[in-house]
Structure 1
Amino acid sequence: MYLPVKATIATLVVLLLITLSLTRLAPPGDPASEKTTKQQSSMIQKISPQPALTITYKPIHSPDDIEALTPPLIKPVAYTRVSTLAALEVSTKKQKFFDMILPAVLISKQRLLAKRIKLAEINAMPTPDEKAQAWLQKQFKLYKAKDTTQLKSKLADHPTSIILAQAALETGWGTSRFFLEGNNIFGVWSFSAKEPRMRASQTREGKPIYVKRYSSLIEAVDDYFVTIARGGPYRQFRKARSQTRDALELIKYLNYYSEIGDEYVQRLRSIITRNKMLRFDSYQLQTADAI
């Protein structure tokens, strides 16, 4: 899938640039301009469908249920229940952790890509229809975006190595209670009693703390991306990821993700480098076309 997706994105960018240039050349309201724009939009819709992706959902009752990775194309498996890895030897535990988390990360990133492509299609429309407008309003609300330019930035992703390192740090390599009981990979808090959640053992200023429960690891990663997109403390991180894909450069903008600040960044750096996690940045999902 790696080459087709990159080719799709590259082609899409070219077509959008052509659309913008033709729109600038023709005067506003010019029928020829409107016709050209519609033709470009139609072309984009034809070249942007996502490769077929069949996700396998399954629970983990023991580490033996975790499917081994087959790089560089990773089978799309969604685990709905996890099992502790605490009893495993360190190197085995880490590999099982990657096997378990990586598919969910790649599936979630694929979903973001699909949203970015849809946004590009809508931006190419002379006048977005009612369905397109409804989709936009839903995304604006979810990601706290004011317009399509801001939404585009919030729909971006970042290197897989960063996400895996955060997952390892937040879950203690898959051993935390939040992870084992609620599929909560990133320690995301809950502020609403209306959503599935669990109570933490500690309190904050005498008040109970709750964290979210998720139905699968994919849902947890999806929510992680929303958290990064919405949070004010991650504004500099979002800006930086639009300028570089260097994981070790980007992590220094995640100092607000944890109360330990710069120490959190140093721990992420150590996890990434010691476990040679930059290799995961080139891994892609296996699609039906690649099977």
Structure 2
Amino acid sequence: MPIRHDLFFSRRWRGVVAAVLLGALGVTVTPPPLDAHAASPSRDVRTLESNVDTPALDPVEEMPDLREYAAGPERKTEFLELLVPLVEAENAKIQAQRDWLIDARERQDSLSDAERSHLQQLCDSYQIECGTSNTFEYLLSRVDTLPLEMVVIQAVEESGWGTSRFARQGNNLFGLRCFSEGCGLAQRGSDRHYQHFDSVQASIEAYLHNLNTHRAYLAMRQARAAQNEKGAAVSAESLIRTLDSYSVRDNYFDVLLALLRTNAELIREHSSNEAEDSPA
């Protein structure tokens, strides 16, 4: 049975969905900023008729040293308790933008100046040309969430359950490289450099944006769109099989899929969706 990927999130994020629904009913909604990171305290999404509170999470500015915990269940629990809510928060932000796009597409000939400006920001951020007949279709192929299990499993593999030097010193959980001279953290014994992020959440945001925009992951986006078109839940396993450009290792798929089979249920246990579905 494929790993399921739900597009709706916990009650913590229903404020975002509520704001989008108000917009669909004709109430002007200020779209969330593209470069916002979740941070305390909560921020307001203001509409003409109401204020909808959207809870925010501490972005975790310094990755804790998880080597202090014994390898195995204890370390896994600490890692997942830190990472899963942050991934869900970033996915929720993307889903809110996607919902806004779907609504805007239906009334694209009557968008306000503010809405057209926001659309242009999305085009710029996701590297799409605005103003064409395919603008919304191209944007919707990129402005989309990724399965929680897939994101977490890649973080597990690339950071060694959060214990790698790049994770500890640079909040880099996904092995994201940088290429300008002197950038980031140098890999010992090679000329490779890896990005340094101001927070763990910034690392997650960069990873999601990379997969949603880089030409190397076109096959992943096409596979996701095909499953969306069928109305099917997006499968983490199927998308993992498209990541041949993420690593030069021949057995990368096998490693990720083995980790997925071993840890998918544990990841779901830490998801807010799982908590909501559990009986009271």
- Confirm or deny a common fold (TM above 0.5): yes
Superposition RMSD in Å: 3.6
Tell me the residue number matched to 2:4: none
Of residues 188, 193, 196, the one that matches 1:201 is 188
Tell me the residue number matched to 1:122: 104
**Residues 47/5 of structure 1: CA separation in 2 closer, same or farther (3 Å cut):** farther
Give the letter aligned to residue 275 of structure 1: N
**Residues 284/128 of structure 1: CA separation in 2 closer, same or farther (3 Å cut):** same
- Whether 2:193 is the aligned partner of 1:166: answer no
- Whether 2:66 is the aligned partner of 1:85: answer yes
Tell me the residue number matched to 1:179: 167
TM-superposition CA deviations, 1:25-62 (whole Å, max 9, x none): xxxxxxxxxxxxxxx97515479999xx98448xxxxx
Task: Please say which of residues 107-116 and 141-150 is displaced more in the overlay.
Answer: 141-150
Distance 1:198 1:106 in 2: 27
Secondary structure of 2:185 counterpart = strand
Tell me the residue number matched to 1:95: 77
Conservation of the 8 A alpha-carbon contact between 1:160 and 1:281: no
Query: How far off is 1:93 after superposition?
Result: 0.7
Give the letter aligned to residue 182 of structure 1: G
Distance 1:79 1:270 in 2: 29
Conservation of the 8 A alpha-carbon contact between 1:189 and 1:212: yes
Conservation of the 8 A alpha-carbon contact between 2:171 and 2:196: yes
Once the two structures are superposed, the pairs formed by residues 237-276 of structure 1 within 5 Å of their partners are 237-242=220-225, 243=227, 244-261=233-250, 263-276=251-264
Task: Please say which of residues 169-178 and 252-261 is displaced more in the overlay.
Answer: 252-261
TM-score when normalising by structure 1: 0.69
Give the letter aligned to residue 185 of structure 2: M
Distance 2:222 2:27 in 1: 28
Q: Which has the larger helix fraction?
A: 1
Of residues 104, 112, 118, the one that matches 2:86 is 104
TM-superposition CA deviations, 1:72-123 (whole Å, max 9, x none): xx99442110122224222101111111111210111111012112223332
Tell me the residue number matched to 2:138: 150
Tell me the residue number matched to 2:5: none
Structure 1 portions without partners, runs of 5+: 16-39, 58-73, 287-291
Distance 1:252 1:161 in 2: 14
Tell me the residue number matched to 2:204: 221
Tell me the residue number matched to 2:50: none
- Whether 2:214 is the aligned partner of 1:231: answer yes
- The structure with more radius of gyration: 1
Give the letter aligned to residue 86 of structure 1: R
**Residues 177/130 of structure 1: CA separation in 2 closer, same or farther (3 Å cut):** same
TM-score when normalising by structure 2: 0.71
Query: How far off is 1:170 after superposition?
Result: 0.3
Q: Which has the larger strand fraction?
A: 1
Give the letter aligned to residue 215 of structure 1: D
Tell me the residue number matched to 1:22: none
Give the letter aligned to residue 237 of structure 1: M
Conservation of the 8 A alpha-carbon contact between 1:75 and 1:285: no
Query: How far off is 1:128 after superposition?
Result: 2.6
Secondary structure of 1:80 counterpart = coil
Aligned length: 236
Structure 2 portions without partners, runs of 5+: 1-8, 42-54, 130-134, 228-232, 276-280
Conservation of the 8 A alpha-carbon contact between 1:112 and 1:157: yes
Distance 2:256 2:148 in 1: 13
Tell me the residue number matched to 1:60: none
Distance 1:48 1:134 in 2: 11
Distance 1:106 1:182 in 2: 21
Distance 2:201 2:274 in 1: 13
* % identical aligned pairs: 22
Distance 1:44 1:167 in 2: 40
